[in-house]
Amino acid sequence: YAGTASLGRKTLHRGLNELLDAWEAHGVDEFILVTAHRHDPHLEALATLVTDHARVRVIDVWDVPIHDLLDGQEQAEHAGEAETSVMLHLYPDLVRMDRARDFQLAPDEFRRYIRGGMPKPPPGGTGSVGRPTLATAEKGQRIYDRILDAIRRAVFIRSDEESDTL
């Protein structure tokens, strides 16, 4: 996608480990990392962070169940129905719905895409994966509220015995 840049898995992993190490040395004993990037190498880098003693929790906002709020997709996809809806809710002036184009990948192609095994953008892609034309600000508010509620529960209510990922 034009203008998009990211760090590779190893670079992200090393950089975050160094940051956590420095902050842990200054007394921080718990880290809560929130991500909305569904690329497997990115998630692997976050899931394998190491500290001496500090607790590390990773919250992937797109692991929150939202399928019942979507009309044309089962899950959040890159600039698809869910992400576009959230953007319409938060930053409507930045969304150009007149340029939205649906682009569906078959389930096996989508798995390869998020695992990093397919070029970005995918061949024939329009800049989105999924059904952004179904996005609405109202839907975005419902999705956003559900994600915020899940983050609140994970951060403030979850017990120590529960999983460290959402």
Joined together, the tokens standing for residue 24 give 């842990």
The whole-model pTM stands at: 0.80
Q: Which residue spans within the chain are E strands per DSSP?
A: 30-35, 55-60
Contacts of 37 (CB under 8 A, 6+ apart): 43
Q: For the chain of 166 residues, list the mean pLDDT of each consecutive stretch of 10.
A: 76 97 98 88 91 94 93 80 96 96 80 67 74 96 97 78 52
Host H or E run for residue 13: helix 9-25
Joined together, the tokens standing for residue 61 give 């906002």
Question: What's the length of the chain?
Answer: 166
Q: What is the pLDDT of residue 14?
A: 97
Domain boundaries of the chain, sorted by first residue: 9-157
Q: What is the pLDDT of residue 39?
A: 76
| Sequence-ordered alpha helix ranges (H) in 26-136 | 40-47, 81-90, 107-115
Top CATH class of 9-157 equals alpha beta
In single-letter form, the type of residue at position 108 comes to D
Q: What is the pLDDT of residue 66?
A: 94
